[in-house]
Copies of this chain bind each other. A is one copy, B any other.
Amino acid sequence: MVKNEKQPDPRLLFGKRLAQLRKELGWSQEQLALESGLARSYLGGIERGQRNIALLNICRLAETLNVPVSQLMDFENKLD
């Protein structure tokens, strides 16, 4: 398996994945904040990999972005 050569911090990977999906919709952080009800500053911290986001907010973001949670969490082999 190619997996686990030494992954970067999952918080960074998740943050990049979130930003990627957000941008695919053409949304600003501000718009994602409005749509999700989460604070823009909190979302900024997540996208920068500074926060250890928990399950309920992960699911809320997936719902807001209209993707399955598993797709939002599919960050292991998708990012460079």
A residues lining the B interface (CB < 8 Å): 3-4, 10-11, 14, 52-56, 58-59, 63, 68-76
Contact = CB atoms under 8 A, between A and B. Distances in A.
Copies of this chain in the oligomer: 2
A59 B52 CA distance: 11
A69 B52 CA distance: 15
Q: At the interface, is chain A mostly helix, strand, loop or mixed? A: helix
Contact of A56 (B52, B56, B71, B76): B52
22 contacts: A3-B68, A4-B63, A10-B55, A10-B56, A10-B58, A10-B59, A10-B69, A11-B56, A52-B54, A52-B55, A52-B56, A53-B54, A54-B54, A55-B58, A58-B73, A68-B76, A69-B73, A70-B70, A70-B73, A70-B75, A72-B73, A73-B73
